[in-house]
């Protein structure tokens, strides 16, 4: 990992929920993260309703959103705060792509490229997920993937047609 630059940087966090009251879960996660020192809210996308992919059949659709923060925190510390917030809201990690009360993913931290046992930046599957790319376009339209060099519109144009249904609420 390269050392992080000094001063505030932008961090994008994807929020997702499809159990119980997803709008409330998104709101509560935002509120809890707002209490954390070192994360300053900068922007919020609209909420996108997304058809579930993978996992057990019959899941409710996901509510997805991306929030942008300004921070001086390192990526591992941000991840720790996200996991703490998930836990506080009752997230239990049982199955991959299963239903969840809340899911928080660090999508990027400025142009940082990193890989460790617990964290990969930028998020390793963001280019495959319209439910991340479309809300991300609302809050960070000029962001460019630091590995591929592709802009968000280019990443969106590369998604296969006929993917999961997605609509902005």
Domains and CATH numbers, the chain: 9-168 (3.30.70.560)
**Strand ranges for 39-102 from DSSP E:** 39-44, 48-50, 62-71
Check whether 84 has a pLDDT greater than 50.
Answer: yes
Give yes or no for residue 95 having a pLDDT over 80: no
Helix 75-88 with 22-34: angle, nearest 10 deg = 130
The answer to whether residues 156 and 48 touch, using CB atoms and an 8 Å cutoff, is no
Can 154 be counted among the known catalytic residues? no
Q: pTM surpassing 0.85? A: yes
Q: Is 110 tagged catalytic?
A: no
User: What local confidence, expressed as pLDDT, does residue 109 receive?
Assistant: 97
Catalytic residue among 40, 44, 105, 128: 105
Q: 71 exposed, middle or buried (CB, 10 Å; 0-12, 13-18, 19+)? A: buried
Active site residue 91: yes
pLDDT reported for residue 97: 66
Which residues have C-beta within 8 Å of that of residue 57, sequence separation ≥ 6?
A: none
- Which of these is catalytic: 103, 125, 158, 161? 103
Which one from 91, 94, 96, 125 is the annotated catalytic residue?
A: 91
Q: How far apart are CA 54 and CA 44, in angstroms?
A: 27
**Which pLDDT band, with edges at 50, 70 and 90, does 139 fall under?**
very high
Render the burial of 83-104: b for 16+ CB within 10 Å, e for the rest.
eebbeebebeeeeeeebbbbbb
Is position 103 annotated as part of the catalytic site? yes
- 161 pLDDT band (50/70/90 cuts)? confident
């Amino acid at each position: 990992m390269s050392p992080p630059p000094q001063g505030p940087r932008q961090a994008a966090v994807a929020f997702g929920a499809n159990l119980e009251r997803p709008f409330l879960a998104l709101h509560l996660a935002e509120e809890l993260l707002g209490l954390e020192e070192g994360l300053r809210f900068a922007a919020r996308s609209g909420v996108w309703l997304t058809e579930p992919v993978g996992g057990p059949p019959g899941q409710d659709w996901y509510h997805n959103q991306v929030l942008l923060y300004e921070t001086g925190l390192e990526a591992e510390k941000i991840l720790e705060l996200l996991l703490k917030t998930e836990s506080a809201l009752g997230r239990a990690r049982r199955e991959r792509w299963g239903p969840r009360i809340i899911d928080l993913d660090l999508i990027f931290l400025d142009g940082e490229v990193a890989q460790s046992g617990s964290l990969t930046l930028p998020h390793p599957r963001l280019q495959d997920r319209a439910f991340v790319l479309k809300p991300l376009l609302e809050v960070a339209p000029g962001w460019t993937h630091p590995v591929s060099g592709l802009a968000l519109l280019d990443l969106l144009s590369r998604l296969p047609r006929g993917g999961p249904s997605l609509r902005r609420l």
